[in-house]
Every structure is written in C-alpha cells, then in structure tokens.
Chain A
Amino acid sequence: MDQYGALVWSLARRLSRTRADAEDATQEIFVDIWRSAARFDPAQGSDKVFIAMIARRRLIDRLRRKSAEPPMDPEEVLESLAWADPGMSSEMCTEAERCAQALKELRPEQREVLELGLLHGLSQSEIAAKLRMPLGTVKSFMRRGLMRLRENMQIDAPGVSAGAR
C-alpha cells in the first residue's frame, strides 16, 4: 500500500461517483491486487498499467451495479476527473505518456466517445443515447480511438490497424 496507495486511491476517485464509493472500491481493488500480484509480468507492461487494469475491472463493475441505484445527492458526487490535464502522464509511466499523445491526435468526437467509455464507464449504447449518435458511429469511433491508443503504446499485433473498419 505504501507504493500503490495513492495510485489506487486516485483511480478509485476517478471512476467512482462518491467518496464513499471510492473508499469501498479501493478496499476491493487492493484485495484484487493481492490476489493477482503473482500474475504480474513486467514483459507485458508496467506495474502501474497492471494495477490500472485490475482497478478498472473492479470499478467498471461497481459503476454498473451503482447505475441501477437511485440518483444521489449532487453534493456527494465527486468532481469529474477527465483528461483535461494530461501533463503529468509522462511522470506516471511510458504507456500513459504515449496514450496521452494519442489522445491529442484524435478527433474531438472520437475523444469524447472514448472518454465516456473509458473514464465514465458508459456502455456504447449509453454513449449513443447520450450523444444522440447512431450506435454504429459510436462503435466506429471507439474502435478507431482505442486502436490508436494501442498502437501508440507500441503494442504490436498482426492483422489489425487503427484504420480497421
């Protein structure tokens, strides 16, 4: 917890609706991390991305469950932590820095779709409804955007490119 406490706490706050949610999520994430620590493979990515993967799974699951609950007091809702300031990404890890660079190169509408999906945990259908955009267009933006992030992270796999339609 010394090493990753602030990171997990920040991730939890970023993808939780309230501080109380973030606290519960942080506890669950640490248990997940302890259970999964032995599977960490530095050849496949940094420790911070590994932590973020575990955290994201848990946080998305919690968001889904919470979405079925009644709306909360607006004063309890945490401030949205979007990609407004990607300046610190280079200090975080190489992958985040490359990801930030890729985000800058996306068209605004692609970036918005990605932000709603990745940072706010909305499903593609929910994004389509929120933006009043055809589902096919959301899928296309999401596909191109995420593939671009993946490529910028220099994750290489055959047969796929950001231009895949």
Chain B
Amino acid sequence: MSEKTQAPIDEAVLDLLIKQAVEGLEPAEQRALDALDDAQLSGIARELEQAAAAALLVGLDTSEPLPAMLRERIEKAAPAALAGPASTAPATTPTRPAARVRRASAGGGWWAAAACLVLALIGWLRLPSNQSGLVAHLPQTHPQPPQPQTQPQPQAQPPAAETTLEEQRAALLAQTGTVDVPLAGTAEPGAAGVKADVVWNERLQQGVLRVVGLPANDPTVQQYQLWIFDAGRDARYPVDGGVFDIPAGRPTVLIPIRAQLTVHSAAAFAVTVEKPGGVVVSARDHVVALGKIT
C-alpha cells in the first residue's frame, strides 16, 4: 500500500464509515457524515463497501444454477418492475457516499469535456480546412478519398428496448478495452444542454450512444447522425456510426452504434443533424455534440 501524506481519518468518522459499509447508518448518523462532504471519505466509504461485498463472495458456491421457475418468474415480472418507480433505497443502505462520488465525477467530466471542446468545435464546424480544432487533435494521416458508403444509411434502432441496451452498455463496459467517452453539447440551437456519451469497444466493433436532452426530431424532416473519427483514416471523412431519431418525451435515449466501416482507432465522436436517411459525408453545418478520447 502506498503511503500518502494526508491527515488521518478521525476515529469517530472512521467508525461511521465502517458502520455504513456493514449495516448502514441511522438518519442522524447519515446526516452527520453528509455534513462533512469530504471526497476522501466518500472514496473510503465506497472501498469499504466493496470490501464488504467481496467478503460475501469468499467461498461462495455458485454451482447451483438459478432455478428455472424462478428465472421465468423474474422474466415475467421484469417489465412491470422496471416500468414502475425505482424502489426506494433502504434507509440503512450505505449508498450515499459512493453515489456522491459518481455524481461529482460525472459532473466534472461533463464540464471538462465541454471546456475542452470549445476550440475543437470551431475547427470541425468549419471543415474542410482540417488543420484546426478537433481535427488538429487527431493523429494526422495521409488524405484519402471518402470511404465507399452506400445509401440508405443505417436507421436508428427503435428505442423501445432500453433495458436491453442498458444491459448491452453495461456488458460492454465490463469488457477489456472499452472506452466511455463524454460528448458535450454545442452552441447549436437546442444543443447547449445536451449531454451524451459513447461506450465503444474497438475489438468488438460495438458501442452504445447515450443521449440526454437532445431535442426530439421529425424523421421526415431531419435525423441525427453519429460519426466516429478513426485515427487510422483521413480525419475529413469520419466513419458513419448510424442515423437515429430522438422521440418526443424521451429525455434519455440509448442508440446502438452501427459503424459502417471497421474502426481501427477511434479518436472522437460527433453527432450532426442531417437530412432524412443521413449523408455519406457531412457538411457539418449542424453539429450538436462532440467528444474525443483523451
């Protein structure tokens, strides 16, 4: 274990963290811990809970499969359970610190991504002069002609199977080599509050785009299109990641990525607004979200 030079944790606070991990805290204890609002403590709390969870796995015999009848029961009940409100966390559940860390981290990520992409956007919006902005951040390659891509473009998958896509996304995140890339909204009308991220695995050539806050579109007028910048290709011609729609009343939408060409080394992702069916080469007149792999 590495030694670091931060102040030791107070014994009483440490006892609260231990109790939180093992049995959960009473409301007053939880409030006392919350009041400290210490990121270091949140990290320790999460680690202690992980240790308690790992202890539950020690010597665990998993040779008995999930009973078929129970599996069937769970599958039948799942749609209703997932459609309903989230079950409230038990009052004694030690979830608060870890959740706070995740929120803080995610918020920071979005903010940082937005800040980093301001300059990048300027360049990408004004292509084909490709030596500025995001393109300048990408590995330089020899110019190539546009890759042969045929119309019609891949259509968005219906967003009805959100649970399945959530599972796909989680499964991808569990794979070695998967990246989770935040995308920030741009100054394009309706895009300022957009948050998105791309979970992408190069080896599997699979990914899921998660979009929050993108305005609903009329597919007969325009559609959204995802682009994948491949370091192994000319940055002027990103790989088409698929065309998709945002239905009204769906603040969060998951989209399976359908790369039309093999992506050798993803460097960035962008979402544009295009004509119905998408385009082979985007004019980049309406970029609504952008993010690069750092």
Contact = CB atoms under 8 A, between A and B. Distances in A.
Given A38-B170, A124-B22, A149-B54, A156 B2 contact: yes
A96 B92 contact: no
B36 to A, nearest CB: 13
Contacts of A118: 22, 52, 55-56
Contact of A100 (B1, B11, B43, B59): B59
A1 B50 contact: no
Contacts of B66: 1, 5-6, 8-9, 26
Contacts of B47: 150, 153, 155, 157
A146 B22 contact: yes
Interface stretch (B67-75, B134-142, B148-156, B188-196): B67-75
State the majority secondary structure of interface residues on A: helix
A35 B86 contact: yes
B8 interface: yes
Contact of B59 (A48, A85, A98): A85
A133 interface: no
A44 B43 CA distance: 10
Interface residues of B, number: 69
Q: How large is the interface on A (under 10, 10 to 19, 20 to 34, 35 or more residues)?
A: 35 or more
A139 B19 CA distance: 9
Nearest to A35: B86
Interface in A2-28: 5-11, 13-15, 23, 26-28
B248 interface: no
A6 B74 contact: no
Contacts of B56: 11, 14-15, 52, 55-56, 118-119
Interface in B122-176: 163, 166-167, 169-170, 173-174
Contact of A10 (B14, B22, B50, B62): B62
B167 A124 contact: no
B180 to A, nearest CB: 8
B132 to A, nearest CB: 33
B46 interface: yes
9 contacts: A7-B62, A10-B62, A37-B166, A37-B170, A44-B50, A57-B89, A64-B90, A153-B54, A155-B47
